Structure 1
């Protein structure tokens, strides 16, 4: 990151942004939400954040944080007051140069966002997801068959990572996918959203190796006809976007379309391993597959924190917020807010948690969520057809990440029907 020295001279920056102003009604909290132990087990932090008030000032990062559902949804969805174009992490792109060209779907606001999102929404539409469903299910069936043959599996590497890195690159049209590079790139992107801590530095150390491969993989010459990547370049041919923008949008497939689904699958398996009665309930009523997916997403919030930047002087819950203030939207806390969800720490496949924030909300809601849900549905449906019980076979280990709540290891035993 390169800091704008003129802006820095005008006011000392903290973690790449102008620090939030103090206020008599604004609690000051010296917690590190990016501490690795906290990231492995964040629920006490989520509860404390909600208890402290609707808005909290994080003193060590000079940012505000919201964790109650009402305020988190407000900040996350109001793109006019709270901007994505100044970065969805702690760094303010108005004051600093990001480590890569900003995403033209995630890190822009209207009207630029509108044009890019229209192209991506068409490339990943419900119609496209339905066309991919048969391939997703066939791959999921093969994966379950192999897992049952082993009996005991390491569910992160052998299942949660294996499935999306097989089917999604094929849907995009990649000619030479590399599972490890795709997963490491996603971890690098999401760790970059946090402060300049050890997680970010370790992930950034992979940049020289991965960045050239990612750039090459996004070129038209490396994509097969008929895939989602080809659809984006066809939009460029039609003049809807430029060809340079098409490459950036294909890059968005690779940064946001793999790691989040890997996390969602692993977290769903963890939920069922921890709650065998809910797997039994799902077997008894397979029509609950889709609500079960939403419930796993709500409880585990694969993306735990994204930031917005106040684009104007405004307020949140009556607290004044000056232009340039960074706000952490702690989605994991909002998705477990007892004011919104009854018994929020319980995993219930019949809950139907309409309105959860795991895929975002408003114009910046995840554009690929239909495809992601189709992948999750294929996996759970394949497991339901063949697996009687999902049992822990060792300790689950969570992988700290500045923006993702993901598992590092999940040893399971799959008992066939």
Structure 2
């Protein structure tokens, strides 16, 4: 099939991985959506950008034509050697994707997570009590919400649930940061993490061994699946690694998004305090609104017509999840954080067979932390403008100074 290209719009010449776009992507996203359903991005050879919700959603569920097996980053694994063994969850397609996914789905599913609800809610209460120390109703506690809440709580409960030791967990965030940077081009963000990634990766890989893991966590359940023959012994540590690679940073920045939303929308915080059942809507609307995972790549398996353009076989397609989540064709007043909307159609966790298998874990962590805060904190106030942490894939905060105004538990 002959490839037809429309004239490259001005937005097609923009580097989507520039500090300016990573720091404030919304203007670029709007221009990308206006330019068409798919736009050649001339800064990178053979790359196409997709930003409308309908087109991103369609590509995510069409794994036969938009594959993940060639890598979900800019590099094409069929032409370039990946820097680490590919993920059996993110970077494979059926049939290779099926067995690892079928093993993880029940381990991380809502039914299995019920046993963690009590311990995690108790851990969140303890975490918040330690943070607030001896402060009482009517007093205010100043915190940086990123290290104090969004980072420290997931780094406490999730690795415990996987079954890895406590010593060395400081490797997890920089490892994940480099991993998500490496999905993009080899720019300054990748270069910044390169000198230390071997050390971080060695520690992460070591935690995936059977003998390191506790006998009652997610990791042990994965190895038990290998013993049953559901996956191979070679696959088991790679599946455990997927949890440690994708299950920490995404939740940290999801919690950062929730805290930002609630600090800037005091009415939403008041509603949540009086109706804790809203926690899931709060979390998913914050994921839609902030979109911590901004982008993922796919590769065209065949020539694929999209609108009046044909994406040629072998081309990389950069799907802007954050843009899709702000598409006015799909959402009313999309730039507004709104608890009255149904956010369930967002693509912040992907869509289709590669949709995030750990999303229920992230929701449970968020619900536990929000419940603990709601019991003590009457109002969350922004103390200073947040600082962004730039990453080629993630939309993240480095710092969020806040004031927690303490009150009585809601009746």
TM-score by shorter chain over 0.5: yes
Which of 116, 130, 133 aligns to 1:132? It is: 116
How far is the alpha carbon of 1:224 from its aligned partner? Answer: 0.4
Alignment of 1:185 onto 2:169: no
Which of 149, 153, 156 aligns to 1:166? It is: 156
* Total equivalences in the alignment: 398
Which of 348, 360, 374 aligns to 1:384? It is: 374
How far is the alpha carbon of 1:285 from its aligned partner? Answer: 2.9
The residue correspondences of 1:3-152 to structure 2 (distance < 5 A) are 23-24=5-6, 27=9, 29-62=12-45, 63-149=47-133, 151-152=141-142
Q: TM (normalized to structure 2)?
A: 0.94
Using the alignment, how far apart are the partners of 2:289 and 2:263 within structure 1?
14
Using the alignment, how far apart are the partners of 1:34 and 1:24 within structure 2?
23
Using the alignment, how far apart are the partners of 1:240 and 1:143 within structure 2?
37
How far is the alpha carbon of 1:110 from its aligned partner? Answer: 0.1
Unaligned stretches of 5+ in structure 2? 136-140
Q: Deviations over 1:295-327 (max 9, x none)?
A: 000001110000000011121124211110100
SS at match of 1:327: strand
Asked if the contact 1:273/1:390 (under 8 Å) is kept, the reply is: yes
Asked if the contact 2:6/2:309 (under 8 Å) is kept, the reply is: no
How far is the alpha carbon of 1:25 from its aligned partner? Answer: 6.0
Name the residue aligned to 1:255.
Answer: 245
Which stretch of the first structure deviates more once superposed, 373-382 or 173-182? 173-182
Name the residue aligned to 1:268.
Answer: 258
Which stretch of the first structure deviates more once superposed, 192-201 or 168-177? 168-177
Using the alignment, how far apart are the partners of 1:321 and 1:400 within structure 2?
29
Asked if the contact 1:260/1:303 (under 8 Å) is kept, the reply is: yes
Using the alignment, how far apart are the partners of 2:389 and 2:195 within structure 1?
18
Q: TM (normalized to structure 1)?
A: 0.93
Using the alignment, how far apart are the partners of 1:52 and 1:117 within structure 2?
36
The residue correspondences of 1:208-247 to structure 2 (distance < 5 A) are 208-247=198-237
Q: Deviations over 1:54-81 (max 9, x none)?
A: 1111101131001010011111221000
How far is the alpha carbon of 1:84 from its aligned partner? Answer: 0.3
Name the residue aligned to 1:3.
Answer: none
SS at match of 1:64: strand
Using the alignment, how far apart are the partners of 1:108 and 1:146 within structure 2?
42
Name the residue aligned to 1:395.
Answer: 385
Asked if the contact 1:182/1:254 (under 8 Å) is kept, the reply is: yes
How far is the alpha carbon of 1:146 from its aligned partner? Answer: 2.5
Using the alignment, how far apart are the partners of 2:336 and 2:166 within structure 1?
42
Q: Which runs of 4+ in 1 moved over 6 A?
A: none
SS at match of 2:63: coil
Alignment of 1:326 onto 2:316: yes
CA-based RMSD: 1.5
Asked if the contact 1:26/1:57 (under 8 Å) is kept, the reply is: yes
How far is the alpha carbon of 1:273 from its aligned partner? Answer: 1.1
Using the alignment, how far apart are the partners of 2:286 and 2:167 within structure 1?
28
SS at match of 1:233: helix
SS at match of 1:263: helix
How far is the alpha carbon of 1:287 from its aligned partner? Answer: 2.4
Using the alignment, how far apart are the partners of 1:204 and 1:116 within structure 2?
29
How far is the alpha carbon of 1:22 from its aligned partner? Answer: 6.0
Using the alignment, how far apart are the partners of 1:142 and 1:397 within structure 2?
27
Using the alignment, how far apart are the partners of 1:139 and 1:339 within structure 2?
41
Name the residue aligned to 2:138.
Answer: none
Which of 329, 354, 369 aligns to 1:364? It is: 354
Using the alignment, how far apart are the partners of 1:176 and 1:279 within structure 2?
33
Asked if the contact 2:113/2:361 (under 8 Å) is kept, the reply is: yes
Asked if the contact 2:4/2:309 (under 8 Å) is kept, the reply is: no
